[in-house]
Amino acid sequence: MGSQLRDYQTTIAERISLSGVGVHSGAPVTMTFVPSAADTGIVFHRRDGEGRSHAIKALISEVGTTDLSTTLGKRNGVTVSTVEHVMAAISGAGIDNLIIEIDAPEVPIVDGTSAAFLAAFDAAGLDQQTARRRYIRVLKPSRIEAGASWAEFVPHDGTRYEVEIDFDTPVIGRQVFAADMSAAVFRDEIASARTFGFMRDVEKLWAAGLALGSSLDNSLVIGDDHTVINPGGLRFPDEFVRHKTLDAVGDLALAGAPFIGCFRSYRGGHRLNAMALRALLSDHSAFEIVEMAGVPGSGASLVAVPAPAFAPWAV
C-alpha cells in the first residue's frame, strides 16, 4: 500500500471468522473470511433469512446509500452495510482477493475501528499469489464540490491522504491528517481511531431505527457539554480526523484496485468519498491502469496495461 507497492496479488492463507453486532441494527452477525483465487477481488457472500447466498462485489458500482455508512448491493435488494471499516483493513493489509461470508445485513462494528479486522488477517496470515497486482494511477486532478465540502485526486508518487475536518465544537474543531499511506502507517496511526458521534443526535437515530448497537465500547461520544464522555478519553489528540481518514481508506478501496495518487478532502464523509471516486473513474483521461513489469528487485517499474472489458473500476 502507498509507497510500498506490491508486485503480486495476495489473499489470506486460511479461513477465519469474526462475530459482533451491527452498530445500527444491533443484531448479531458473523463474518467468515475465505481465501480466494487471483483476480477475484473482494466479494461479500451475503446469506439471507432463507439460507440463500448472494454475491455482492465490493466495488463503487455497487454502492447504494451513503447515509452514516457505506452500503453495497443496490441492484437486487440484498445489501451489506457499514462496510467501510473492514474495507479499510483489507486495503491496509494489502489484500487483493477475498470472499467474505456474512449472515446479516450489516458488518459488525466490533470496537468502532479496523483493528479487530487487522488482527483477524494477522491470525490467518497472507498468501502471495502469482498474478501481478494492478493499480489505478492518477494522471491529472479530478475534483468534486458539494456546498462547503470538496474532495479531489491529484497525481502523486505513492498513495497519500490529506484529510481535513472542521466541526463547530471545541473538542474537535479543525483537524488535519496528512501522510503517505503504507501498511505501517495505517496500522499504527489510523486503524485504532474510533467512529464518533454526538449525544444530542442519539434520540433522533434511535427513532429512525439506527445506532441500536452503538455504545461507549465502540464509539467516541461527545456530550452536551462538548467533552468526550468515554472513560479514558481519546486515543489520539486528533482521533476524529484519523477516523475520517480510516473511512476514506475504506470507501476508496471500492475502486477495485489500489490507487497511486493523492486524495484530499475537506469536510468530507462517505457520500463525498463515493462522489470523488465515481468522478475519477468516470473520466478515463484522469487515470490509467498500471502493473509492475520486469523482475522484482531488479529494476522493475510500473507500466500501463490495457484495461479489460470487465474492468472492476468501470462505473
CATH number for the domain spanning 250: value is 3.30.1700.10
Task: State which residues form the domain around 146.
Answer: 136-282
107 and 84 belong to one structural domain: yes
Could you list the residues known to form a binding site, using ranges. 85, 243, 247
274 and 166 belong to one structural domain: yes
88 and 217 belong to one structural domain: no
Annotated catalytic residue 270: yes
Last residue of a domain, one of 133, 154, 171: 133
Q: Is residue 305 part of a domain?
A: no
185 and 100 belong to one structural domain: no
The average pLDDT across 304-311 equals: 68
% of the chain exceeding 70 in pLDDT:
93
Q: Is residue 2 part of a domain?
A: no
Q: What is the pLDDT of residues 89-100, one digit of tens each?
A: 999 999 999 999
Q: Is residue 295 part of a domain?
A: no
Contact 37, 56 (CB under 8 A): no
How sure is the predictor about 1, in pLDDT bands with cuts at 50, 70 and 90?
A: very low
C-alpha cell at 250: 475504506
pLDDT at 294: 66
pLDDT at 313: 55
pTM: 0.93
The tally of domains found in the chain comes to 2
| Crossing angle (nearest 10°) for helices 270-282 and 239-252 | 40
Catalytic residue among 24, 45, 270, 284: 270
Q: Is residue 34 part of a domain?
A: yes
Q: Residue 47 to residues 23, 66, 305: CA-CA distances in angstroms?
A: 19, 22, 36
pLDDT at 166: 97
175 and 126 belong to one structural domain: no
Q: Is residue 252 part of a domain?
A: yes
Q: Is residue 206 part of a domain?
A: yes
Could you list the residues known to form a binding site for Zn(2+), using ranges. 85, 243, 247
61 and 151 belong to one structural domain: no
Q: What is the pLDDT of residues 243-282, one digit of tens each?
A: 999 999 999 999 999 999 999 999 999 999 999 999 999 9
Last residue of a domain, one of 101, 133, 165: 133
The average pLDDT across 7-22 equals: 96
189 and 248 belong to one structural domain: yes
Contact 197, 298 (CB under 8 A): no
Nearest to 300 by CA among 291, 313, 308, 309: 291
Sheet holding 42-47, edge to edge: 16-21, 28-35, 98-102, 42-47, 53-57
C-alpha cell at 137: 494511477
Q: Is residue 311 part of a domain?
A: no
Separation CA 87–CA 114 (nearest Å): 9
Q: What is the pLDDT of residues 47-83, one digit of tens each?
A: 877 778 899 999 999 999 898 899 999 666 899 999 9
CATH number at residue 58: 3.30.230.20
